[in-house]
Amino acid sequence: MLRTGALLPFVPSVAGAAVASLADVPAPPALAPAALAADNGWWSKVGALYDVTDEVAMLDNGYWGSMARPVVDAYARHVERVNSGNAYYGRLAFPDEYGAAHRAVAEALGVGRDEIVLTRGATEALHALIGGYNRLRPGDTVLCADLDYDNVITTVHWLRQRRGVNVVRIDLPEPATYQGLIDAYAQAMAQHPRLRMMILTHVSHRNGVVLPVAEIARMARERGIDVIVDTAHGFGQLDMRIPDLGADFAAINLHKWIGAPVGVGAVYIRRGRVRDIDPYMGEADGDNIATRVHTGTINFAAYLTVPLALQVHQRIGVANKQARLHRLRNRWVDAAREIDGIDVLASSDPRLTSAIAAFRLRGKRSVADNVALAKRLLQEHGVFVVMRDGLASGACVRVTPAIFTSEAQVDRLVTALRG
């Protein structure tokens, strides 16, 4: 006999295993975010929700974000459910549940459901926006910067081949200042009168600099220039929502700072602008944002887990997360600035600050130098960090704490740098 509603039961992956839930996430005490950031006792309770390796001090949390135990358990149950239900579940029950996930993401972003489509990540979202942007004409100019993601720069250069546009790359000032970043983009706009579209990386994956996106986007709008924002490292880490950016197009990641399973992101297109992005390879219905992405068969369980991941994120509080991450970042950055021979690539302006920052040994700018440094920190000190290249000033080592990172783990890095 068919179950009404075609809803199949969850099947725990381990019979009799304790299953974590949202109720296991500690509610934050009534403290301002800055005060709560220093409450190591409460953050240790939050950290206990994450089953993270203790083999190293994990300070490369920018690749993707670990899921909290309630999210892991829910994901496992969804995998079991999808696997057992197969097409019976996928065709009859999944569409409504996918709709609930889609609605939860739209609400968290502060936008309408008709303004987003879910993707497998920010890179897929950026491909849809950059590749589908149809207002370019031969001879127009597209702008990117050295802080942008590698594949974004590659995709922008693809436009040169396919659309006959000119690609201009600017090197942003280092050390970064708020006005200096604005001035760099203002100068580029003034120098290139045929500038039609530009990429703004909200939070750089290389050195963590936060662009003043809203101010730059306002200048661009006044000149008729469209902005595509890469907020893969912004949403979930910074206390913001998409309308705050002031841009009509954005790419979002949900498996970095929201803590959803790997393989979930979103495209944002402001209402009224969808026809400026082409449907994917001839998809029908030019007014439906869903036609701008064609993923094929998706990871059903990952999408189904998104609402709970958002609930965990919201229970902890994004302002609380941001304050804690800034405290951890500042703890090692401030100490490293005092160490002779260390160049810290991080702004002292809190408006430009994220969890991510970077450093290098003075004069050691090559990829090989910084790969070797990251390797030495791991092998000799048990500190896991990662080399990043692409900055105009050279390669560096990136440090990215997470909300489960302890101050002791950050201090281990500082001790290693002093040694």
The domain that holds 379 is classified in CATH as: 3.90.1150.10
Residue 9 lies in a domain: no
Whether the predicted pLDDT of 381 surpasses 80: yes
Same domain flag for 134 and 156: yes
Distance CA 384, CA 378 (A): 5
Mind giving me the DSSP string for 210-260? BP-HHHHHHHHHHTT-EEEEEETTTBTTBS--GGGG--SEEEEESSSSS-P
What are the structure tokens assigned to 217, written together? 């986007």
Q: What separation, in Å, do the N-terminal and C-terminal C-alpha atoms of the chain show?
A: 69
Main-chain dihedrals φ then ψ at residue 341, nearest 5 degrees = 90, 0
Residue 17 lies in a domain: no
Whether the predicted pLDDT of 12 surpasses 60: no
Same domain flag for 203 and 234: yes
β-strands 357-361, 342-345: how paired?
Answer: antiparallel
Q: Mean pLDDT in the chain?
A: 94
Model confidence at 285, pLDDT cuts 50, 70, 90, reads: confident
Same domain flag for 236 and 339: no
Q: Which of 280, 312, 344 is the last residue of a domain?
A: 312
Give tens-digit pLDDT for 319-360: 999 999 999 999 999 999 999 999 999 999 999 999 999 999
As a residue count, the chain comes to 419
Q: Which of 288, 312, 336 is the last residue of a domain?
A: 312
Stretch 162-178: mean pLDDT: 96
Residue 371 has, within 13 A of its CA and on its CB side, a CA count of 4
Of 372, 46, 11, 392, nearest to 207 by C-alpha is: 392
Give tens-digit pLDDT for 116-147: 999 999 999 999 999 999 999 999 999 999 99
Residue 16 lies in a domain: no
Residue 165 lies in a domain: yes
Distance CA 143, CA 130 (A): 12
Stretch 259-264: mean pLDDT: 97
Sign of CA dihedral 15, 16, 17, 20: positive
Same domain flag for 133 and 172: yes
- Do 393 and 360 contact (CB within 8 A), yes or no? no
Question: What pLDDT was estimated at residue 18?
Answer: 59
Q: What is the pTM of this model?
A: 0.93
Q: Tell me how many domains the chain contains.
A: 2
Same domain flag for 168 and 308: yes
Same domain flag for 182 and 111: yes
- Which residues face 265 on adjacent strands? 119, 253
Distance CA 237, CA 239 (A): 7
H helices of 255-381, where? Answer: 300-316, 318-337, 367-381
Q: Containing domain of residue 112, as a range? A: 96-312
Residue 120 lies in a domain: yes
Residue 40 lies in a domain: no
H helices of 164-284, where? Answer: 178-191, 213-222
Distance CA 234, CA 334 (A): 23
Same domain flag for 301 and 327: no
Question: What pLDDT was estimated at residue 315?
Answer: 97
Q: Which residue has the higher pLDDT, 358 or 14?
A: 358
Whether the predicted pLDDT of 17 surpasses 80: no
Main-chain dihedrals φ then ψ at residue 32, nearest 5 degrees = -65, 150
H helices of 31-140, where? Answer: 33-36, 40-47, 69-92, 94-109, 122-132
Same domain flag for 280 and 200: yes
Q: Which of 312, 329, 345 is the last residue of a domain?
A: 312
176: CATH:
3.40.640.10
Distance CA 102, CA 213 (A): 25
Same domain flag for 351 and 256: no
Model confidence at 282, pLDDT cuts 50, 70, 90, reads: confident
What are the structure tokens assigned to 104, written together? 């939860």
Amino acid at site 395? A
Whether the predicted pLDDT of 98 surpasses 50: yes
Same domain flag for 161 and 265: yes
Give the CA dihedral 274, 279, 284, 286, nearest 10 degrees: 20
Stretch 212-232: mean pLDDT: 98
Whether the predicted pLDDT of 283 surpasses 90: no
388: number of Cβ within 10 Å: 22
Distance CA 11, CA 76 (A): 9
Residue 383 lies in a domain: yes
Of 51, 70, 49, nearest to 260 by C-alpha is: 70
Give the CA dihedral 377, 380, 383, 385, nearest 10 degrees: 30
Residue 262 lies in a domain: yes
Of 4, 51, 37, 76, nearest to 329 by C-alpha is: 37
Same domain flag for 214 and 325: no
Same domain flag for 330 and 394: yes
